Structure 1
Amino acid sequence: MNLLRAAFSVSSWTFASRITGLLREMLLASAFGASAITDAFNVAFRLPNLLRRLFAEGAFSQAFVPVLGDIRTREGDAAAKALIDHVAAALLWAVGLTSLVGVIGAPLLVYAIGSGLSGSAFDDATVMTRIMFPYIGCMAMVALGAAVLNTWRKFMLAAATPVLLNVAVIAGIWLAPQFMARPIYGVAIAVMIGGLLQMGAVWWGLRRLKLRPDVLKSPRRAFGYAGVKRVLSQMAPALLGVSVAQLSLIINTQIATHLGEGRVTWITLADRLLEFPNALLGVALGVVLTPSLTRAASSNDQAGYNGLIDWGLRLTLLLGLPAALALALMAQPLTALLFHNGKFSDTDMIQTALAVQAYSIGVVGFTLVKILAPGFYARQDMRSPVKVAVIVLIATQLMNLLLVPYLSHVALALSISLGAMLNAGLLYVGLRRGGAYRPEAGWLVFLIKLMIALAVMGAVLWFMGQGVDWAALKAAKWERAGRVLAMVAAGAATYFVMLAVLGFRLRDFRRREPTLPAPGA
């Protein structure tokens, strides 16, 4: 399998997801502005999203994918199918109970994450939490299905499903005002519809592979299965690690609600821009690398394992560094183009752009973590990333304590970014010290060439952005769009032309997955 082609396939669908996600946020910002009601929606949506990252796409996937890949490599497809059936049943029981508790305890959950919301906004957030909380159940099943599809090298469907959520929410933003007195509630309902559509799509993919899980099992039978116990034993430290990371987001959201109206929305929109490079590169490479790293580790192929890590790190820096630089230099142009419409004011645009610049510092850190952390998970070492996550949490909140009084909401983005860089650095040191990874030859020359290309690209973007009043261009939408697209095209062209001049070729980054013996061979 050509890993670069697989990563490009995942990245392409992820790009479609992020484009529709941006359109979703643009319409939401235009329809409701950076107001108390959008703060309430963002707080309510963050609750199931946090649990999705915690249980479904976070600790569960980190524990399940290596175990599933290891069993498939060592014991074959029949044993893997039995594991899928029992894990799916156990997961369904767990998320069903969690959803019920969340709906009943919605006011307490909203208070825990957004106690600074005003009275009416707090009530709206509670109602929308009850509407959207069962979304975690849908996403848990989607995460399981995606893990199976990725293990069987069927990457595209799992990468494409988030588009369905965005399309459903966009439809909700358009249609809700025609049918509901509180249109924002219609958007919350659309989130649930999107979750059901995602689950249906993944289940269809599993059915085509004849891997659709048999979930009709009692809790005792499901949780008593040896493979489930193994996943749970791996999930416990992974859950702690992901919990630490999500706790930082909860604290930051809580702080933002006390800084004043609109802060939660500014941070949320800035985070949306951050997700573009993170998802297009970090998520895509993580999805493709994790099964391959697991196979290499399970087969004791140290050379193949080392080569995969090295390839992922180089590709991350090659594409992540220009993305970070472009996001920093184009924060205001991009924010103006995407969000500065309708009820979204000049102040909203400027403050969101400042948060985008703070987030740009962490782009490389976020993407590197997606490469380095799977290096531990593939070796079924869940504890090392947990220790790193605890250190990062403490450091992040100390930075908040020092910086928030001076930088307000920008400090929240900055602390997350610096924490991501610290996270990546500590994970890298851990892999090196443990002997799991040794850099291959050519890194110094590679980095020098990258710095030259980045310097030229940065100079071009800086020059093109000088003297432009992006707030004043709100009434000249086409001119604004043309200027921004010209900057994007010029920056990309400059960077890749410089890479070509410096000797970089696409074939240098092609990599095939190591060929391993069949199970039992």
Structure 2
Amino acid sequence: MGAMALWRSTMVVSAMTMLSRIMGLVRDVVLLNVFGAGKEFDIFVVAFRIPNFFRRLFAEGAFSQAFIPVLTEYKTSRAHAEVQILISRVFGCLLMVMSTLTLVAMIIAPAIVYIYAPGFHGDAEKFDQAVEMFRLTIPYLMFMSLTAFASSILNSYGSFTTPAFSPVLLNIAMIAGAWWLTPYMAEPIMALGWSVVAAGVLQLALQIPELWRKNLLIPPKIDFKHEGVERILKLMLPALFGVSVTQINLLLNTIWASFMQDGSVSWLYSAERMTELPLGLIGVAIGTVILPSLSARHAEHDQVKFRAMLDWAARVIILVGIPASIALFMLSTPIIQALFQRGQFTLQDTEMTALALQCMSAGVISFMLIKVFAPGFYAQQDTKTPVRVGLMSVAANAILNVVFLGFFKLIDWHAEHMALALASSGSALVNAGLLYYYLHKRHIFRFGGHWKKLMLQYGVANVTMIVALWYGLSWYNGEVSEWLRVAEVTGLCVLGVVAYLVGLLATGFRPRHLKH
């Protein structure tokens, strides 16, 4: 994929992701307005996070990272008939595994909920409702695994629009459920569970027409002995852990938060959703686009273009990631106020969520860099290195959780959930740092001499933005009406972007410097 094709694909995925994230914000505004950040919403967050975790573990995470390099190699060096056979065998094996896993999960639902939210067990009603919600939402795992399978095929063939758009359907379905289905449910929160299942069906159905047009909609056949399936499984097993470290850490945080005061899970969830905006817009978009291209360069043994592609991706990530981290920290309270403070979402919820967002914002740039550095290994069919790094990252998260929670207990601080957010940021820094260390050590990628000038330009631009936001915040008034708050925050965001761009241009930075 050439430079212009990379940019076009990145912009397509970024635009679709932006649409999805905007709809996701609307969804969260609606959900928190309808249900608030209390007991009911805590139940949904925990119950939905479990299948969502396994979705990223099996589907978007390990499966995609193992499947795309193998499929790309087949597409590059073998006949189309062999590619179709590979797709058929992988389809059959995936369908069987995910169907079995879904059925088993529904049977042992109480044990799974107890493991991931042990703090709920002290409240029988809360625990039982979480189990019921989990059983309702777990089929989403199977549908999304098949959706990820279809999306991986389309991405490998240079088609990114349909896969990138499909997450929008989840947001639309949940908004519809909250607004229109809730009044008809004995337990209103269960409307969200039915919405999730409907979204899974819709997201899978969306991929089918394009697969049919490309002659890639192949009937499934189970064959675990197929050479390609065996290679994918060999790559996937370690990748199950390596690519999903962030989700594992978030689940561990959910376990800790389930023991804290009502609302803690929701506050962390709301803050996490805000950090996903820049992460999804650029980090996930670039990671999605470069993996097939890196895999192709590796298959062609072109290490020069391989390194150049990683360098280009890192330049774009740091250009966007650092100012995004700073802006989320500085504007945390205004953003949460403008988006969520209405209906059942109180001023206290705003304050607690803003504290969590400030702590999580420190890890945004690390989370984004992981999306670039990890594909550098997966494209070379190396899943062992990210696993080693992932183990160290999870260990760091556990240690930091204990350290920060101990510190907050010592000073008798009322917002213990902040400790979990800080630990997430710290473990992400460990993850990104170690991935870069191994890339550098193995001469796969390193920041060259041209980065000195780039970092100076980025630094000046970020300082310019900080000064502008600091001045703008002195005019911010959170006591005004809802729509005026939204207008004020929009103005602050525009001010920050303009200041950042002026700072970049003043240092001589030009768009051509981002050419691949």
Category of TM-score, reference length = shorter chain: over 0.9
1:111 corresponds to which of 110, 114, 124: 114
State the partner residue of 1:166. Answer: 171
| 8 Å CA contact retained: 1:56, 1:140 | yes
TM normalised by structure 1 equals 0.95
Map 1:208-357; keep pairs closer than 5 Å.
Answer: 208-215=213-220, 217=221, 219=222, 222-242=223-243, 244-357=245-358
How large is the RMSD of aligned CA atoms in angstroms?
1.3
The CA deviation string for residues 365-408 of structure 1, in whole angstroms up to 9 with x for no partner, is 00100000000001111100100000111111100001124051
2:100 corresponds to which of 97, 107, 111: 97
State the partner residue of 1:517. Answer: none
Larger displacement relative to structure 2 (239-248 or 307-316)? 239-248
The CA deviation string for residues 397-431 of structure 1, in whole angstroms up to 9 with x for no partner, is 10000112405101111111111111111101101
CA distance in 2 between partners of 1:213 and 1:401 (Å): 50
Larger displacement relative to structure 2 (227-236 or 241-250)? 241-250
| 8 Å CA contact retained: 1:44, 1:129 | yes
1:455 corresponds to which of 453, 463, 468: 463
Secondary structure of 1:8's aligned partner: helix
State the partner residue of 2:417. Answer: 409
CA distance in 2 between partners of 1:492 and 1:240 (Å): 37
1:434 corresponds to which of 429, 442, 458: 442
| 8 Å CA contact retained: 1:4, 1:509 | no
Shift of 1:505: 2.0
| 8 Å CA contact retained: 1:324, 1:360 | yes
Map 1:75-86; keep pairs closer than 5 Å.
Answer: 75-86=78-89
Shift of 1:23: 0.8
What fraction of aligned residue pairs are identical, expressed as a percent? 39
1:494 corresponds to which of 491, 494, 499: 499
Map 1:22-171; keep pairs closer than 5 Å.
Answer: 22-117=25-120, 118-171=123-176
| 8 Å CA contact retained: 2:246, 2:428 | no
The CA deviation string for residues 418-472 of structure 1, in whole angstroms up to 9 with x for no partner, is 11111111101101101112434411011001100000101111121136453x3
Amino acid at match of 1:430: Y
Larger displacement relative to structure 2 (436-445 or 347-356)? 436-445
Amino acid at match of 2:212: R
| 8 Å CA contact retained: 1:392, 1:423 | yes
| 8 Å CA contact retained: 2:51, 2:138 | yes
Aligned pairs, how many? 504
| 8 Å CA contact retained: 1:368, 1:424 | yes
CA distance in 2 between partners of 1:245 and 1:462 (Å): 31
Q: Unaligned stretches of 5+ in structure 1?
A: 512-521
Shift of 1:78: 2.6
Larger displacement relative to structure 2 (110-119 or 159-168)? 110-119
State the partner residue of 1:515. Answer: none
CA distance in 2 between partners of 1:335 and 1:393 (Å): 29
| 8 Å CA contact retained: 2:339, 2:486 | no
CA distance in 2 between partners of 1:494 and 1:245 (Å): 32
Q: Classify 1:320/1:373 alpha carbon distance in 2 versus 1 (closer, same or farther; 3 Å).
A: same
| 8 Å CA contact retained: 1:32, 1:38 | yes
CA distance in 1 between partners of 2:318 and 2:248 (Å): 28
TM normalised by structure 2 equals 0.95
Secondary structure of 1:259's aligned partner: coil
Secondary structure of 1:116's aligned partner: helix
Larger displacement relative to structure 2 (68-77 or 129-138)? 68-77
